[in-house]
Amino acid sequence: MTSTEMRRATSRHLTSTQWRARRDDHRARVDDLIGPYLRARKNGAKHPVIDFLFTFYSSRPAHVRRWHPGFGVHLEDGDELLGLRGYHRVGDAVTVDPGYLRDRVGAVGATAALLHATASRPARLGCFGLHEWAMVYRSAEKRHDVPLRLGRAGTDAVVEEMPLRCTHFDAFRFFTPEARPRNEAELTRDRQVHDEQPGCLHTTMDLYRACFTLAPLIDSDLTLACFRSALRARELDMRASPYDLRALGYEPVPVETAAGRAQYVREQSAIAEDGRELRAALSQRLSDLLALSNRL
């Protein structure tokens, strides 16, 4: 298939008025979601909950605020996007370059495989967010500059009294040396595709990373939806952690109690369901991109 034939078969066209309205609406939705945080961040303020979505993922607020139409959409008068990676001009319009899809097809395929493997497994809901506790177990160091809700001895006691069932390597790799043998399995990067499961909060958060690392192939509507879900998961992640975040407005989920564990599972289940729907949507986008790449 020639590039012209592919454009005719797969593209949609947006006028300058249409796409600029979508761009502005996207930015407004981001500002409604995290505007106060972004303004405080510009002044150097740190936030132990939201910062993670940018620092750990090597992301920037611009990745969330920047609007992309997604692959196959042609923008009238879209020259302002030509300075961004992955775009080119076709006639009187600007669109994502099919050559960029060819260059990124390996990453698209690897991400699709991981999402498919994750979705194929049942959600496990018995970890109770103890990975954050395991990261400070028997350590004089903390990962955040906020107090431990139960103190050091109380935090260690929770880890010793409850099983560690972490399935996410990017959490497990930050366990203290004393905590690692307590996990039910030794996790490795090589085994990640075999261990990921959809109940994990961090697996849901990773959907945001998958979207922004594949931009501009993925549309910003889906990226923002995944970011919103990641923010919700991160909030539960830290509310169930050993840290006391009440000064920031986050009420704890006391997983050291039966009531707290039940609350955690209820909230975790809702996030997992949200992640299931977003994972399916992203998987479909990636499947479509792979099919198109085979015709380039």
Q: Mean pLDDT score of the chain, rounded to an integer? A: 93
pLDDT in tens, 119-146: 999 999 999 999 999 999 999 999 889 9
Q: Is residue 256 part of a domain?
A: yes
How many whole angstroms separate alpha carbon 231 and alpha carbon 49? 9
pLDDT given for residue 11 in this prediction: 54
The whole-angstrom distance between residue 287's C-alpha and the CA centroid of its chain comes to 19
How many whole angstroms separate alpha carbon 201 and alpha carbon 230? 8
pTM: 0.92
Regarding beta strands 73-76 and 12-14, do their DSSP bridges make them parallel or antiparallel, or are they unpaired? parallel
pLDDT in tens, 179-207: 999 999 999 999 999 999 999 999 999 99
Q: Is residue 218 part of a domain?
A: yes
How many whole angstroms separate alpha carbon 158 and alpha carbon 149? 12
Measure Cα distances from 186 to 171, 182, 195, 246 in Å: 12, 9, 10, 33
Q: Is residue 93 part of a domain?
A: yes
Regarding beta strands 12-14 and 93-96, do their DSSP bridges make them parallel or antiparallel, or are they unpaired? unpaired
Residues 254 and 176: beta-carbon distance below 8 Å: no
The amino acid at residue 4 is T
Q: Is residue 250 part of a domain?
A: yes
Q: Is residue 212 part of a domain?
A: yes
Read out DSSP for 1-68?
--HHHHHHHH-EEE-HHHHHHHHHHHHHHHHHHHHHHHHHHHTT---TTTTHHHHTTT--HHHHHS--
Asked, as a colleague might, if the bond just before 216 is cis with ω within 30 of 0, I would say yes
Range with the lowest mean pLDDT among 40-44, 120-124, 238-242, 275-279? Answer: 40-44
The number of distinct structural domains making up the chain is 1
Q: Is residue 167 part of a domain?
A: no
The whole-angstrom distance between residue 155's C-alpha and the CA centroid of its chain comes to 28
Structural domain boundaries, residue 282:
3-126+191-293
Q: Is residue 51 part of a domain?
A: yes
Q: Is residue 61 part of a domain?
A: yes
Residue 79 clears pLDDT 90, i.e. is over it: yes
Residue 9 clears pLDDT 90, i.e. is over it: no
Number of other residues whose CB lies within 10 A of the CB of residue 188: 12
Range with the lowest mean pLDDT among 58-67, 74-83, 133-142? Answer: 58-67
